[in-house]
Amino acid sequence: MNRFNADLVNALRGIVSDGNWQCIGEKSLFESPCTKLYAEDREHVVLVRTEDGRFWAMDSSCPHEGGPLDLGDIEDLGNGKMALVCPWHHFDFCLETGISSTGLQNQVYEVQVVQDKVYINTQNALSLFPIPETNTVPLGRLSPQEAKSSASENSLCSWAAKILCTADPKEKVALTQEVQDKWNSGKITEVGEMEPPVHPCRKESLTVLQPGKIKRGKGGTLASRIALLHSLANIEQWAIDLSWDIIARFSSARLSTGESLPHEFFNDFVKVAGDEAKHYSLLEQRITELGSFFGALPVHNGLWQSATDTSHSLLARLAIVHMVHEARGLDVHPQTLSRFTAQGDSKSVQVLEVIYSDEITHVAAGLKWFTYICSKEKRDCLTTFHELVKKHFKGYLKPPFNTEGRKTAGMTEEWYVPLVKPSN
């Protein structure tokens, strides 16, 4: 017994001597399977306790789209290893390595329990409670304009607001395609001004749950393919709304030079809206062909949070929605495609390829207008982007990156590599 105690003391001394070890509290505090720990750099950590009493730790933000891993389920991978499953899109992350079967990699941290105290090896101090943020002036904020309704009911913004207030996704798609045709043909010429709704409308029959309440199916089955396509359709429905929201919300924005946004800006985002509507239709049709329908499974509204967080700043909206989230969609495409290919689902593969090709142009559009505004306002593009992402995106960007897809969109490595978490 004396030798055992001496070993514990020596181990504790080793931990204390290493400045990267953080004591987060007594072991008895962490009976729950998942506990979120808050970090000063906003790269929060989830501490996982498995049924056998062992502890694990990894970043709490899913590297796919920032889903809350602290609300996820713990599942057996079937090879003696356990995984934490993101509640948003069911990406699994091995507790031991942080590797996902989708090809993504999450940051994991070494955990030790010494004399009933839990230690995590990380450079940042951790807290059980949120760390207050300091007040900062938003970067990239354009000159404020009083929101007012356009006198014309046939303005682009009036239609944008109408589409945002349309709950049925098929009607939303039809209206989007109608407005796109009218805009491109010159039947709508006025951009106008219209205050968009705080939150887009959704059908009452749609089951909306908190992200952590949505469960995943087993892999390699028809049901799991339907669930993934259903999740993607939900994303595309939100993407339609995000496109119309950026048009309506920033229609009257002025650059620091006093200039308004050029007509081409609205051309580009009308096209993005049309693409997203096409994507939803393709996915909804494929779900139907597989014997289900959109709305058969629960969805979540977590994706609208980025719109809310960036509603004050066009530069922030372009950076987070189009240059972070949509670029992450390019990153996960190869693994998503391989899952359907492995199951011989060639029709779904064709749909995913169409979506991927269009999404490259959407990232390019975000980059195009971000650099345009920065150039007009004499801002350094890279510095501004990095500062906005650190402020408005939860955590670091995480590899693997689809370097080729991002490069095709014009986003070379200097844009995103500096936002990867430095190794300890």
Domain range list for the chain? 2-127, 156-419
Average pLDDT of the residues in 63-87: 84
The one-character DSSP state at 258 is: S
Tens digit of each residue's pLDDT (9 = 90 or more) over 110-153? 999 988 889 998 877 788 777 655 433 343 433 333 334 434 67
Is residue 219 very low, low, confident or very high in pLDDT (cuts 50, 70, 90)?
A: very low
Give the CATH superfamily of 2-127.
Rieske [2Fe-2S] iron-sulphur domain (2.102.10.10)
pLDDT value of residue 386: 97
Burial class (CB in 10 A: 0-12, 13-18, 19+), 219: middle
Average pLDDT of the residues in 250-270: 95
Q: Which of 20-24, 67-71, 320-324 has the highest mean pLDDT?
A: 320-324
Average pLDDT of the residues in 306-321: 94
Average pLDDT of the residues in 50-66: 88
Is residue 49 very low, low, confident or very high in pLDDT (cuts 50, 70, 90)?
A: very high
pLDDT value of residue 138: 40
Distances (CA, A) of 153 to 4, 156, 194, 241, 406: 80, 9, 10, 19, 39
Give the CA angle between residues 173, 179, 180 to the nearest 5°.
85
Q: Is the pLDDT assigned to residue 276 strictly greater than 50? A: yes
178, 154 in Cβ contact below 8 A? no
Distance CA 241, CA 228 (A): 20
Please give the single-letter amino acid code of residue 226.
I
Is residue 238 very low, low, confident or very high in pLDDT (cuts 50, 70, 90)?
A: very high
Distance CA 211, CA 73 (A): 12
Q: Which of 13-27, 365-379, 386-400 has the highest mean pLDDT?
A: 365-379
pLDDT value of residue 345: 94
Q: Is the pLDDT assigned to residue 71 strictly greater than 60? A: yes
Is residue 326 very low, low, confident or very high in pLDDT (cuts 50, 70, 90)?
A: very high
